[in-house]
Structure 1
Amino acid sequence: MDNSIKQNIAECHNIVNHIRGSIYNGNCNRCFQCGELSKLYSALSNLSTSIKSNLPIEEVFIQKYLPALIGTPKIKIDSLIAIEVIINIIMAKYDLKNVNQKKIFISHSSKDKAIVQLFVDDILQLGIGLKPEQIFCTSIEDMGIKNGEDIRKHIHNNIKNADYSFLLISKNYKESEICLNEMGAVWAYDNNVKLYLLPDANFKNIGWLCDTRIAERIDSSISLDALHEQLQRYYSLQNTSITSWSRHREKFLQDIKQI
């Protein structure tokens, strides 16, 4: 299956969940024109185009409900339920039962645990709003491998099903055979791979690692702001204000200087 279809389905699923939660929790502001409905319209339109040849019946049903999303402050609940049913049918036909897990896979050296934990806590969770169960990181308790699980199989499955894979490159990373093997697997699946250089690495000493990818510095506020915007949009997250995000970002940038 084309990876773009998986991303389209995940985006639609996440937006519908967000809208449904806002309605049921009484957080819907009933704006003159709902921004989330506009996002859903765009996401469903993209999904409709991507499945047209393989799932023509489902594509017709998507087109049927698109007008319900235009120029309205609030969608009728029966229309939202119908759209959700269509998305679930598409998920089932593409065998995407775990599309809502929204996994982030973090490839790193265990010797860099201190920086990695700050990145996960301050940036991904507190800053962006991801939940612990959405992140796979072997160095952090409850985010890695449980007792009795096959390590290689578990890591492989999490790389395969990840929405995003982060490669946190350092001197320790380059010297680790395990890390380089993970990198090869990550690149093979190519699920939104993002390379970040830790403070002890620079663009000159990572050599061939950057031949085909664009790396960014993990201690750059510009890079972190871009990541915040990308993940907030991808997962339809709106639970952090700009002020809150800036505070967590600056805390992270200051704390990693002490490591």
Structure 2
Amino acid sequence: MDIKIIELNEIIEVCENLVQKIRLYGEAQTGDELYERYKLLVKEFYKKYNLSHTTSNQMASVLKTINDYHWEGRTYTVNILEANIILKAVICLKELLFPGLFEKIFISHREKDKDQIAALMELLYAIGIPRPSQGEDGCIFCSSHPDAYIENGRMIDDEILKQFHSKQNVFFILWYTDNYFESQACLNEMGAVWAMKKTYQEILMPGFDRNKIGGLLPKEKIDFKANDKFRLNTFKSQIEQMFNLQPLKQNTWEIARDAFINKIDKLAINKQS
């Protein structure tokens, strides 16, 4: 992931914590630790990437807002309205610097289909989505896979809701099987994708009847079967573009793709037998 995104996400997290602190305890006062941390990070980011020389009117407007709420050398307070303005401005800065760039994948699926999803995750890793590091959240949210397990004691509904309201740009993969459409939780996720206008891709397990697809999502949007090698080629290119990944060598990709198709076909046959 681009280092600028990591740095901007750190600034956004500080701003979110500042908003939460003010909401709980009232205005931030002179010398507030979070606000001072925000100022330091923004100052370093400006200096490092020379943002003051932008020629974009939108960018200039966002930077002016950030500058207007950057107080130095005097007594100040930060109220909830001001903190939210700061947070919104930093999020806008990120969107302007990285238009259309995605940072996370949410796989909506039924836990009964976890073997299929494990194969999908290996394919995504092969394309270039990074595996999670020790002690860090990965780029893929998938409640049934060990790489993305929700920590003990946490509420799964709360963790899923966080993904839908994340300040990160999340790409949703809807993995359709008969099991999927028998689950109210899965249908709720599908409905949330539609209601919140999320970017998504529908993938159908071989043997699943497309006519069974219900819900509110547009029926005209292109979906594909998981063993369609030509659609998988397009899917790979889309993921590389959306996540700013180095294109995978063709031979390496074909080996990973064909291994995925073989695994999926075997799982489909086993399900039918």
Q: Residue 128 of structure 1 contacts residue 245 of structure 1 at CA under 8 Å; is this kept in 2?
A: no
What is the Cα deviation at residue 94 of structure 1?
Answer: 2.1
Offset from partner CA, 1:40-75 (integer Å, 9 cap, x none): xxxxx9x947x35842659xxxxxxxxxxxxxxxxx
Q: 1:189 to 1:244 in 2, by over 3 A?
A: same
Q: 1:200 to 1:111 in 2, by over 3 A?
A: farther
* 1:177 maps onto 2:184 in alignment: yes
Aligned pair partner of 1:199 in 206, 217, 221:
206
* 1:108 maps onto 2:114 in alignment: no
Q: Where does 1:111-190 land on structure 2 (aligned, <5 Å)? A: 111-121=112-122, 123-132=123-132, 133-161=138-166, 162-190=169-197
Matched residue SS, 2:245: coil
Letter of the structure 1 residue corresponding to residue 256 of structure 2: H
What is the Cα deviation at residue 168 of structure 1?
Answer: 0.4
Q: Where does 1:4-19 land on structure 2 (aligned, <5 Å)? A: 13=4
Gaps of 5+ in 2: 8-53, 66-85, 133-137, 268-273
Q: Distance in 2 between matches of 1:55 and 1:107?
A: 35
**Larger radius of gyration, structure 1 or 2?**
2
Matched residue SS, 1:204: helix
Q: Distance in 1 between matches of 2:192 and 2:259?
A: 32
What is the Cα deviation at residue 153 of structure 1?
Answer: 1.2
Q: Distance in 2 between matches of 1:131 and 1:239?
A: 17
1:215 alignment partner in structure 2: 223
What is the Cα deviation at residue 231 of structure 1?
Answer: 1.4
What is the Cα deviation at residue 154 of structure 1?
Answer: 0.6
1:233 alignment partner in structure 2: 241
- 164-173 or 184-193, larger mean C-alpha shift: 184-193
What is the Cα deviation at residue 107 of structure 1?
Answer: 0.2
What is the Cα deviation at residue 191 of structure 1?
Answer: 2.6
Q: 1:239 to 1:193 in 2, by over 3 A?
A: closer
1:31 alignment partner in structure 2: none
1:250 alignment partner in structure 2: 258
Q: 1:107 to 1:192 in 2, by over 3 A?
A: same
RMSD, aligned α-carbons: 3.7
Offset from partner CA, 1:85-129 (integer Å, 9 cap, x none): xxxx998622789x99811000001111111110101x1002334
* Matched residue count: 190
Q: Distance in 1 between matches of 2:2 and 2:127?
A: 20
Q: Distance in 2 between matches of 1:226 and 1:90?
A: 36
Matched residue SS, 1:180: helix
Q: Residue 101 of structure 1 contacts residue 134 of structure 1 at CA under 8 Å; is this kept in 2?
A: no
Q: Distance in 2 between matches of 1:91 and 1:246?
A: 42
1:36 alignment partner in structure 2: none
What is the Cα deviation at residue 215 of structure 1?
Answer: 1.8
Q: 1:13 to 1:257 in 2, by over 3 A?
A: same
What is the Cα deviation at residue 197 of structure 1?
Answer: 0.8
Sequence identity of aligned pairs in percent? Answer: 29
Letter of the structure 2 residue corresponding to residue 124 of structure 1: L
Calculate the TM-score normalised by the size of structure 2: 0.59
Q: Distance in 1 between matches of 2:129 and 2:156?
A: 28
Q: 1:90 to 1:207 in 2, by over 3 A?
A: closer
Q: 1:210 to 1:174 in 2, by over 3 A?
A: farther
Q: Residue 59 of structure 2 contacts residue 93 of structure 2 at CA under 8 Å; is this kept in 1?
A: no
Q: Distance in 2 between matches of 1:13 and 1:186?
A: 28
Q: Residue 159 of structure 1 contacts residue 165 of structure 1 at CA under 8 Å; is this kept in 2?
A: no
Q: 1:158 to 1:90 in 2, by over 3 A?
A: closer
1:93 alignment partner in structure 2: 90
Calculate the TM-score normalised by the size of structure 1: 0.62
What is the Cα deviation at residue 214 of structure 1?
Answer: 2.8
Q: Residue 109 of structure 1 contacts residue 179 of structure 1 at CA under 8 Å; is this kept in 2?
A: yes
What is the Cα deviation at residue 199 of structure 1?
Answer: 1.2
